[in-house]
């Protein structure tokens, strides 16, 4: 079973066609880079794969579930259990301390708070974010917020990690370390990673590159 499978997916924002008839299958353990210039549809593809956006046409099957037949609550549940998302600016919950932000996916799944926070603290340590656990997102730099978002994405041991420009706010060395962690910790457990980026060093971490231009796939090559 593929981790995620998009078949003939199209999506428009009003009159702007963001994606046209795009198909992408990601196998368990596979790392795929989605690249292309700004506005080519990379982020839309990621949000569709995560079930955050609903495909206007075509089909998205996420860890075996056809998202067309799933309501918002069901999609949120699949996302929480199986998907870790890292967005460009972290997108942390502003009122929650960083430790609770990272523990949140586990808390929502009903894990005991103590256990969830211990796991969160472990991941904050692994991503290298050394701040007091009570720090609020507004007190973090852009790079720190991105590290916290990565810890939050990995805390559930997801089958699929979707990362949109995961290293954009980080210096080169920290970016490489984070990328290593996202890829190795996910694939070691048989999970898959989709990296959306215009950074060649990020694309070069993937097993396969899918390049988009104006909403369509223009090139797809195996790198491994």
Partner 1 sequence: MTELHLALLAGAPRHGYDIKHEHDAWFPDSRPLAFGQVYATLARLQRDGLAQVVETRTDGGPERTVYALTEEGERRLRAWLAEPAAAAGSGADEIVRKTIAALHTGIDVRGFVSRQRASHLRRMRELQRNPPGAGAAEQLVREHVIAHLDADLRWLELATELLPSSGQQQPLRTATERNNP
Is there binding between residue 184 and partner 1 (CB under 8 A)?
Answer: no
Is there binding between residue 57 and partner 1 (CB under 8 A)?
Answer: no
Is there binding between residue 173 and partner 1 (CB under 8 A)?
Answer: no
* 20/205 with CB nearer partner 1: 205
- Measured CA to CA, the distance from residue 137 to residue 198 in angstroms comes to 26
- Residue from 8, 37, 113, 157 in contact with partner 1 (CB under 8 A): 37
* 74/218 with CB nearer partner 1: 218
* 156/197 with CB nearer partner 1: 197
Kindly provide the b/e burial profile for residues 15-33, where b requires at least 16 CB atoms within 10 angstroms of the residue's own CB: eeebbbebebebeeebbbb
Q: How far is the CB of 91 from partner 1 (least distance, A)?
A: 27
Is there binding between residue 49 and partner 1 (CB under 8 A)?
Answer: no
Any idea what DSSP says for residue 51?
T
- Measured CA to CA, the distance from residue 86 to residue 146 in angstroms comes to 7
Helix axes 142-154, 172-188, angle to 10 degrees: 10
Taking contact as CB under 8 A, which single stretch among the options 125-133, 149-157, 184-192, 208-216 is the one that binds partner 1? 208-216
């Amino acid at each position: 079973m593929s981790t995620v499978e998009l078949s003939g997916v199209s999506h428009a924002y009003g009159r702007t066609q963001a994606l046209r008839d795009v198909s992408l299958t990601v196998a368990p353990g596979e790392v795929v880079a989605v690249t292309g210039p700004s506005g080519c549809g990379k982020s839309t593809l990621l949000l569709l794969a995560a079930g955050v956006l609903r495909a206007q046409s075509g089909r998205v099957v996420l860890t075996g579930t056809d998202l067309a037949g799933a309501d918002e609550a069901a999609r949120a549940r699949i996302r929480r259990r199986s998907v870790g998302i890292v967005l460009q600016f972290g997108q942390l919950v502003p009122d929650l301390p960083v430790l609770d932000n990272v523990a949140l996916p586990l808390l929502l799944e009903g894990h005991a708070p103590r256990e969830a926070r211990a796991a969160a603290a472990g991941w904050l340590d692994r991503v290298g974010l050394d701040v007091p656990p009570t720090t609020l997102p507004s007190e973090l730099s852009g790079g720190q917020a991105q590290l916290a978002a990565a810890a939050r994405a990995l805390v559930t041991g997801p089958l699929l990690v979707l990362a949109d420009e995961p290293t954009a706010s980080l210096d080169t060395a920290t970016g490489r370390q984070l990328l290593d962690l996202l890829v190795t910790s996910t694939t070691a457990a048989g999970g898959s990673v989709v990296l959306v980026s215009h950074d060649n060093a990020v694309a070069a971490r993937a097993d396969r590159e899918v390049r988009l231009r104006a909403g369509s796939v223009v090139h797809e090559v195996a790198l491994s």
